[in-house]
Structure 1
Amino acid sequence: MPSNNPLRRRSFLKSTAALSLLGMSGVVSAKPGRNPGPKKDEILVGVSKNRDTKKAVAQHVPGNAEIVHENKELSYAAVKFPSHASTRARENFISAVTKGDDIKYAERNTTHSTLYTANDPKLGSQYAPQQVNANDAWDTTLGSSDVTVAVVDQGVKYDHPDLSARFGSNTGYDFVDDDSDPMPDVLSDEFHGTHVAGIAAGTTDNNEGVGGISNSTLLSGRALSESGRGSTSDIADAIQWAADQGADVVNLSLGGGGYTQTMKNAVSYATTNGTAVIAAAGNDSSGSVSYPAAYSEAIAVSALDPDETLASYSNYGSKLDLAAPGTNVLSCWTTSTQYKEISGTSMATPVVSGVAALALSEYSLSPADLRQHLKNTAVNVGLPSNKQGAGRVDAANAVNTSPSPPGNGDSKETTRSGSLSSRSDSDGSTYSWAYSSPSQVVLELSGPSSADFDLYASEGTGTPPTTRSFDHRSWTTNSQEQIVIDNPDSSAALGILVDSYSGSGDYTLTITEKK
């Protein structure tokens, strides 16, 4: 699997800064006339990695539709129907195309939105950095420019007095307008990305405005338009691109599109390539975490009021990882006001991203280890776990506490090898626990680049899962898969299935159990 060494990734980012403005690795530019923002008339079709994406999809496209976009790295194509086409026409296409041998999925190009709640501006001091004890963390480090936080959001006003020092020559990419300048189009309307960037990394100790949580390098992936809305494809492309640029953290202060395989693949791609994905739990006051925060690889963040109670607007649920201040958070603004307070899980998320960047300034951590470290060092504020996760993120603890693996640090690694001969061939097996109550188990599959292998797991059954009945699945368009299970059910052996969606060859399965 790709290295998770932050030093290697950061060196790569610096060395490619000038070149990255010329193109997007693995992404084919949109056709002229492709509208920015939501793309409700499009269907995203995922194709097995070892196939020609466009060719595999084209044979199924009806005469009134066309392929308008392709992401080769994530192996999907966007098929656009005319706006007057009926819902049934799109549903018929989804039904027909998914019968193709090389087609992995087809789904609507759903719309995601910013997750903030507007408030009247207040002339108050910042409280968020103090609440997460950033002041104490700053005695150790203000953060390092070698750590990069990518803000996938609206564009960022990168010449803001409190942000300009945080950007290098590569300010980012605009996936809405398909150009190399992520500056907001309409400053008075497009403030969200700038506010988010200021929370995570507004320059601290510069006698200017506010202090962000960390002095990390910023990268802007503009994937939401001035309306605050954007398509799954634009956001997924931006996540993949940010990972390819060597970003250490991707901040996703957005949601509302539901589960999509395209977004899941993008989040999986980022974490597999060493980029931590931190996402907002949602602003619906719902008892379930929204996507993309709800994906197993993402770090899901709820919002707290200044008194550390759960904000009335914040989503919560079993998939929550951490909580952070999100109400009336002061940060950078795009107009002459320059600074303003707004609220939302959108604001809580970059607090966690900033703390993550501080931790990465001190320690070399993979995304999984970073997630665990932030949870281990979080502070219990007296809320149930479905409202605060492991607790309120704490910068001082994250910086001044040496990272430790889950549990007591003991781990057992087992490697298994196998071979699949053809499409739909599979290997089912079970894994007997080394520890009576493991805190975490990580399954990592590495298969041939010419095939598309998938990984499944089931808990508490003692039998292998099937492709239709499972508890966990990693189902990207290639053969590099990972499943992380926290506090697994060890009452029976863990069931594992390696399945060939297409192709053949040898694979290696690594099972790491942590006590």
Structure 2
Amino acid sequence: MTGNPTFNRRAFLKLSAAAGLTGMAGVTTATPGRSPGPKENEVLVGVSKAAGSPRRVVEEHLPGKARVVHENKTLGYVAVEFPDEASDEASENFISAITSRKHVKYAERNATHEALYTTNDPQYGSQYAPQQVNADVAWDTTLGSSNVTIAVVDQGVKYDHPDLSAQFGTDKGYDFVDTDDDPYPDVLADEYHGTHVAGIAAGTTDNDEGIGGISNSSLLSGRALSESGSGSTSDIADAIEWAADNGADVINLSLGGGGYTSTMKNAVSYATQQGSLVVAAAGNDGRRNVSYPAAYSECVAISALDPDGSLANYSNYGPEIDLAAPGTNVLSCWTTSTEYKEISGTSMATPVVSGVAGLALAQYDMSPADLRSHLKNTAVDIGLKDTEQGAGRVDAANAVETQPGGGGGSGGSSTTSTVDDSLTSSSDSDCWSYAWEYSSPSQVVVDLSGPSDADFDLYVDEGSGQCPTTNNYDYRSWSTDSTEQIVIDNPDTSTDLTVLVDSYSGSGSYTVTITETQ
């Protein structure tokens, strides 16, 4: 064992593994004829990296006229399409059967996600969102940097808009709806959401044109929602992976719906590990129920505020909320001759935070975990409940004027501990206990790095002192490879943190890294 002595082996467990019987790197081209947008007749099947090709594993067990129409080797899944005449029972039977096969980690419907906005009558007037988050004060320090990239995974973006063209380079992005390298909207009158979001985050400031976006960051467009404003889990997950692989520092997800899916969870986890901060909209149902993907622990979940600073009546809320930002009647870029328009939603609040993140990264070099903590440490308490505002309203001036580690939180210092060991087969698991360095850390990040030819998973318990198991845990990172991460905000330090490393398949050495931030 190497590393900090706060790690202790709780037990060397010989457990039966949870395995049953069993620019576009990693994303293969969809089968010709695959329809854009929602794909309600598809099932996504996740396959362990230890098995090699996901397509080969799944194709051996396809029923009837079902076929594999898409493969993502990086995220380790395939999409299986059932014919239109097939019953729901047929796909449910397939899900039940395929999950009992060797190397198959999950099977789930290719859920549909929607752009999270609420339209209202056209309103024209002065912007208020940049002023509410003190972006105008931050601009005295920096307007942002083209070296920082914000990826907008959404509808297509009108990248030749006069307030956006300067923020796009030669590579405008990728269209995952139509599978081509031009993410421009198909129908400008209908497909405005991505353009509006992009303008909030990074509409060009100080250019004598239209509005001022929060930051002058570079933009990438990952078109994953159709002109109807909806898209499939697979298209969105592929776009997230693509954005991370193409150097996005921030990935904006102003979308939601479809509930928890392993495919989307693995995508946001992958992006975080690649160095992208994923910022996501809480949802517009006006209830205590933060939508996915915002509810994943890897994402920064954003609630929406009215111009007076109160929680918008449409905004979802709950313990997963990290930050609040203005989302009602936000003026931004439009796709028609109107050029600018106000609309409302947590979709609009989310790129405000993405833009502030871009400003902060123009000043300081930070990892996604550090940036997330920095934005929360420098947020302003506006008197709402924690479930409504999280750490508070994001504040651009504080974010660029405050050195990371010295924010408005409890200090911002961090400590890191590591432990190295190995697993010999799919029947092996190690459990570790970790003694806290800080009495009240604001965040703990648990990282697992294992062999590339195996599939190791990570499980964490807090507050119980008991080793987690593959069936009983507080947090799980369960991707199709051996690179895993769990992020816990405001962890329970009443007992040691317990960590289980489990071999789903394969053997080899691994490293667990735990980072506490005050």
Query: TM-score normalised to the size of structure 2?
Result: 0.94
Q: Are the equivalent residues in 2 in contact too, given 1:407–1:514 (CA < 8 A)?
A: no
Letter in 1 for 2:242: W
Q: Does 1:493 align with 2:488?
A: no
Query: What do the CA deviations read for 1:45-98 (whole angstroms, capped 9, x no partner)?
Result: 001112221111111111220000000110100000011111111111001101
Correspondence for 2:269 = 268
Correspondence for 1:328 = 329
| SS state at 2:426 partner | coil
Q: Does 1:31 align with 2:31?
A: yes
| Alignment map for 1:436-447 (pairs within 5 Å) | 436-447=439-450
| SS state at 1:169 partner | coil
Correspondence for 1:46 = 46
Correspondence for 1:429 = 432
- List alignment gaps of at least 5 residues for structure 2: 1-22
| SS state at 1:224 partner | coil
Letter in 2 for 1:261: S
Q: Are the equivalent residues in 1 in contact too, given 2:404–2:412 (CA < 8 A)?
A: no
| Alignment map for 1:110-509 (pairs within 5 Å) | 110-404=111-405, 407-509=410-512
Letter in 1 for 2:37: G
Letter in 2 for 1:497: L
- Name the CA distance, whole Å, in 2 between partners of 1:343 and 1:70: 36
Q: Are the equivalent residues in 1 in contact too, given 2:156–2:223 (CA < 8 A)?
A: yes
Correspondence for 1:56 = 57
Q: Are the equivalent residues in 1 in contact too, given 2:163–2:211 (CA < 8 A)?
A: yes
- Name the CA distance, whole Å, in 1 between partners of 2:342 and 2:440: 45
Query: What do the CA deviations read for 1:179-225 (whole angstroms, capped 9, x no partner)?
Result: 01000000000000000000000011111111100011000000000
- Name the CA distance, whole Å, in 2 between partners of 1:293 and 1:409: 24
Q: Are the equivalent residues in 2 in contact too, given 1:172–1:219 (CA < 8 A)?
A: yes
Q: Does 1:512 align with 2:515?
A: yes
Q: Are the equivalent residues in 1 in contact too, given 2:124–2:331 (CA < 8 A)?
A: no
- State the superposition RMSD in angstroms: 1.1
Runs of 4+ deviating beyond 6 Å: none
Q: Are the equivalent residues in 1 in contact too, given 2:373–2:443 (CA < 8 A)?
A: no
| SS state at 1:173 partner | strand
- Name the CA distance, whole Å, in 1 between partners of 2:416 and 2:228: 48
- Name the CA distance, whole Å, in 2 between partners of 1:329 and 1:141: 22
Letter in 2 for 1:439: S
Query: What do the CA deviations read for 1:397-452 (whole angstroms, capped 9, x no partner)?
Result: 11111111774345443221221111131112222223333333221111100100
- Name the CA distance, whole Å, in 2 between partners of 1:114 and 1:376: 29
- Name the CA distance, whole Å, in 2 between partners of 1:113 and 1:371: 25
- Name the CA distance, whole Å, in 1 between partners of 2:331 and 2:127: 6
- Name the CA distance, whole Å, in 1 between partners of 2:134 and 2:441: 31
Higher relative contact order (CA 8 A, sep 6+): 2
Letter in 2 for 1:38: P
Letter in 2 for 1:329: V
| SS state at 1:27 partner | coil
- Name the CA distance, whole Å, in 2 between partners of 1:197 and 1:514: 31
Q: Once the 2 structures are TM-superposed, how far is the Cα of residue 235 of structure 1 from its aligned partner?
A: 0.2
- Name the CA distance, whole Å, in 1 between partners of 2:332 and 2:439: 47
Q: Are the equivalent residues in 1 in contact too, given 2:114–2:225 (CA < 8 A)?
A: yes
Query: What do the CA deviations read for 1:97-140 (whole angstroms, capped 9, x no partner)?
Result: 01112101000000000011111112210010111111100000
Deviates more, 1:186-195 or 1:24-33: 24-33
- Name the CA distance, whole Å, in 2 between partners of 1:432 and 1:373: 24
Compared CA separation, residues 307 and 104, structure 1 to 2 (3 A): same
- Name the CA distance, whole Å, in 2 between partners of 1:384 and 1:416: 38
Aligned pair count reads 493
Correspondence for 2:90 = 89
- Name the CA distance, whole Å, in 2 between partners of 1:118 and 1:139: 33
| SS state at 2:172 partner | strand
- Name the CA distance, whole Å, in 2 between partners of 1:494 and 1:383: 30
Query: What do the CA deviations read for 1:299-333 (whole angstroms, capped 9, x no partner)?
Result: 00000000000001000000000000000000000
Q: Are the equivalent residues in 2 in contact too, given 1:429–1:463 (CA < 8 A)?
A: no
Query: TM-score normalised to the size of structure 1?
Result: 0.94
- List alignment gaps of at least 5 residues for structure 1: 1-22
- Name the CA distance, whole Å, in 1 between partners of 2:125 and 2:134: 18
Q: Are the equivalent residues in 1 in contact too, given 2:377–2:412 (CA < 8 A)?
A: no
Letter in 2 for 1:487: N
Q: Once the 2 structures are TM-superposed, how far is the Cα of residue 247 of structure 1 from its aligned partner?
A: 0.6
| SS state at 2:321 partner | coil
- Name the CA distance, whole Å, in 1 between partners of 2:109 and 2:508: 33
- Name the CA distance, whole Å, in 1 between partners of 2:259 and 2:157: 25
